[in-house]
Amino acid sequence: MSGHPHSASPCITAALRAASRRVTLLYDEVMAPSGLRVTQFHILSELKRRASAPPTVSELAEILTMERSALGQTLRTLERDGFVALGRDEHDGRRRPVTLTAAGKGAIARGRPYWIKAHKRFERFFGGTELAALRTTLRDIAEDPGLSDAFKARGGTAPR
């Protein structure tokens, strides 16, 4: 064990949040020359993957497992920088799809080499097989609807 202080908390959410913050900070450092934070890069990349059917803000929040308000704050910055546009659906005027602009595509192209560099550094440190298993576990936690079901109160009684 190194001389750095470590949390003794048994709380899985504390460990997940700490790991997420740390990895995000490390990726952000590597990505800084691109002008994008890793979260912004991830949102832009997701919009590129969904260019044929752009999602609304609510749909994108669900896809990314993000709070709608937090996503909205990041999207405002991306919109201000000209990387995304909030449009109007031609068939349903209430629907406002989020689309990637040409500038957004350029931002992805500039950011990708830095993201790859950060990802390779993390993979080298963590190990390729272990990283694949970790990603699968984290995606399962984020996306498996059974997890929400497991947390629903059964019969309205308090836990013992």
Domains for the chain: give ranges and CATH numbers. Answer: 40-137 (1.10.10.10)
pLDDT at 32: 98
Rounded to whole angstroms, the Cα distance separating 35 from 6 reads 32
pLDDT at 119: 96
Rounded to whole angstroms, the Cα distance separating 86 from 78 reads 11
DSSP notation for 22-61: HHHHHHHHHHGGGT--HHHHHHHHHHHHTTTSPPBHHHHH
Q: What is the pTM of this model?
A: 0.84
Task: Read off φ and ψ for residue 100, nearest 5 degrees.
Answer: -85, 135
pLDDT at 137: 93
pLDDT at 2: 55
Q: Where are the alpha helices (DSSP H) in 97-155?
A: 102-126, 128-143, 145-151
pLDDT at 1: 46
Compute the residue count for the chain: 160
Neighbours of 130 (CB within 10 A): 11
Tens-of-pLDDT digits for all 160 residues of the chain? 456 677 778 899 999 999 999 999 999 999 999 999 999 999 999 999 999 999 999 999 999 989 999 999 999 999 999 999 998 777 776 778 999 999 999 999 999 999 999 999 999 999 999 999 999 999 999 888 888 888 886 655 555 5
